[in-house]
Chain A
Amino acid sequence: AQTVTQSQPEMSVQEAETVTLSCTYDTSESDYYLFWYKQPPSRQMILVIRQEAYKQQNATENRFSVNFQKAAKSFSLKISDSQLGDAAMYFCAYRSPTRTPLVFGKGTRLSVIA
């Protein structure tokens, strides 16, 4: 079974600075999808970014980008120009290609310091 590990339970960043959240996963599949979801205090799960394993190019969404290292099974999230609204719990998730459920890591709580 696939597993997802987020080794940083908590992190903090100064406003306007850059922070990187780590995620590693374990799988024997070659095709799969990776996601980062944000859960702010409202507890809503919000999709931040997604990456298809067959794509070598790292995904970017405005201030959010990933560093996808397939061989190392690593999928980190970089947040640039951090804003107070970025403060949230961030979950890394894995999904097999065939409409299967997401497998989540335990999350990283990000604090943004003004």
Chain B
Amino acid sequence: DSGVTQTPKHLITATGQRVTLRCSPRSGDLSVYWYQQSLDQGLQFLIQYYNGEERAKGNILERFSAQQFPDLHSELNLSSLELGDSALYFCASSGEGTTFRGASTDTQYFGPGTRLTVL
């Protein structure tokens, strides 16, 4: 158990719909990352939040958005869903870790993922 929780575990919905995926990071972790793993694909980075602020964006579609709340949990919102959005969505969190030359050495720990199926 990594300490990162994600809900729901499975989600089945129809095209055009909107869903919200939830992530609770490990206790004390300030950074949350969202990744998408499509069938036969590697993991693609979507977006990162650090202590409530957006830190980095990856290959995230405009139909997707996210936020991190004051209690540090994060939500990923997917709207106008298409068949191609079917995937496993992972949340990962990391803490401050120790630093070397001013850079953080934290490791990302992954939640169990949410499997989204769009029919």
Contacts and interface: CB of A to CB of B under 8 A. Distances in A.
Contact of B113 (A44, A91, A95, A104): A44
Given A43-B88, A91-B43, A101-B33, A33 B48 contact: no
B110 A44 contact: yes
Given A45-B90, A106-B42, A99 B104 contact: yes
Contact of B50 (A99, A104, A106): A99
**B contacts with A: majority SS:** strand
Interface string B35-67: 100000111010010100001101000000000
Interface stretch (A18-26, A47-55, A60-68, A69-77): A47-55
Contacts of B92: 45, 102
Interface string A70-114: 000000000000000000000100010111111111110000000
B107 A43 contact: no
A107 B108 CA distance: 18
A104 B94 contact: no
Given A99-B31, A101-B33, A102-B43, A44 B107 contact: no
24 contacts: A31-B101, A43-B115, A44-B113, A45-B90, A47-B107, A47-B109, A52-B100, A91-B42, A97-B100, A97-B103, A98-B103, A98-B104, A99-B55, A100-B48, A101-B35, A101-B45, A101-B48, A101-B56, A102-B35, A102-B43, A103-B45, A104-B42, A105-B42, A107-B42
